[in-house]
Structure 1
Amino acid sequence: MSGATPHPGNAARFTDAVALVTGAGTGIGAAVCRRLVAEGARVVLSGRREGPLRKVAEPLGDRALVVAGDAAVKQDMRRVIDSAVEAYGRLDVVVAGAGGHRPGAAADTDDDAWRYSMNANLDSAFVTLREALPHLMAGGGNAVVVSSIAGLFAGPGVVGYVTTKHALIGLVRSVARDYGHRGVRVNAVCPGWVRTPMADEQMEHLGARYGIDREDAYRLVTKDVPLRRPAEPEEIAGLVAFLASPEASVMTGAVVVADCGATCVDLPTLAFAE
């Protein structure tokens, strides 16, 4: 089983809501856009590359607006948010999904690689939330930040990614603490392995090391995960949609793990597994 069949959505849950999704051109971000539109939202797709955004937006019709920009750049995000409000009159939901990955342990990570991780993962979410907060406060909106199980534990040789994904959880909790009394909810999602273009690339590298193909590489990295598979982007999108919906109205500052059970495994007992 490669993953659950995507839920068709509840068209009433986001009727007339306006959502901004950063990192919307591929992977989880693209799946979130499709899910929110299926549930009645109008969605603004943002990312640094316009081409992938337009490819995602085309089948979504007039319920999707493409505004390219760098989520870590204040002027870009102000332009994106202004375009959303000008087009749709409001902003109700923000999904901060922009991110990036540069390998390297601490001694092997130069200043440029470190700044790339900070910019791609942490600055992008911070700037997006900061610029969106006035609109979220005005309408009692909410945000979902895509972190990772790398925000809870450390993988090998990815100091920038691990550090910034941990920091995103602190960002979510701080914003939730400071703005809850203004009616704003902010939650984090921590996926494990998800079958996305970025993960596919990592599987290609792993496969080359072991002389196996991409699918065998996915099987290798999930062999000790209880569900024995990666998640599909649509599955993470369903969780994001729940957190952004009125059904999660009492949830803020929450860190929701979606990793097919990876983080419930006690690593020192793996030797005892059959």
Structure 2
Amino acid sequence: MKTFKNLVIPYVIWSSLMLLLPMLLIVFYSLISSGNTIVNFQFTLANYVRFFTDKDFLLILWRSLIIALETTVLCLLIGYPCAYYISKCSKKKQNFLIMMITLPMWINMLVRTYAWIGLLSKGGLISTILGWFGLHDVELLYTQSAVLIGMVYNFIPFMILQIHSSLTKMDGSLLEAASDLGASPMEAFWKVTFPLSLPGVISGITLVFLPAVSSFFIPKLLGGGSWYLIGNVIENQFITVGEWNFGSAISVIMALIMMLLMALVRKADARAKKEGV
């Protein structure tokens, strides 16, 4: 047993160097003012005060949360019926459909997002289809709708896979028992299927909302700079402006928000599992 414990040491060292140390550096930079050196520095909360006292940054944060919430809701509304349909298919067909959902994920997300520029631009496939219905003047690219489409397209597989996993683990005899007790198919779904699939729903919400709220290249490519989200602010502070201290402070704030959301999700997941049992 002692030998097996020693095998964990390389992983602990790797995690400390690649995960913990960078995070500690970000926290450190967020607590000092620009121009300080590692040898001579002064702690300050000015970077955090600046963020919470500037209405523009708070507006961008609020916009990011709203778009992430809209993305999550759309992924749930589209993903749940897809996952439910797949779970009712034969095993062979399920494997094929799951492969079709995961196949686009084999391609880099940046490349897939670039493809949507061609689809949403004037003369693209979607604008051509809209033209068939007389909607020639509808602008899709560089709008909030384009950003939302890109978000849903990139993150919906996570929702479908998590819900499908919960649905396939469900005991089918429970639905038979509900039917024997006089429950209609709709009643059986809401009282048996949906509650038992909640752990998958909650996991899917987590895997969609957290990356959506911090995404920066999807709004940049499909929003054309018109829809500036919190991820773009962080990128701009580090790469363009060069204010690493303020960018670090925003990163820490976002990390704390995500940790809070994950704690709430875990609590809801634990409650869902308890009710399911």
TM-score (norm 2): 0.26
Report the structure, 1 or 2, having the larger helix content: 2
Greater RCO structure (CA 8 Å; 6+ sep): 2
Q: Which has the larger radius of gyration?
A: 2
Report the structure, 1 or 2, having the larger strand content: 1
TM-score (norm 1): 0.26
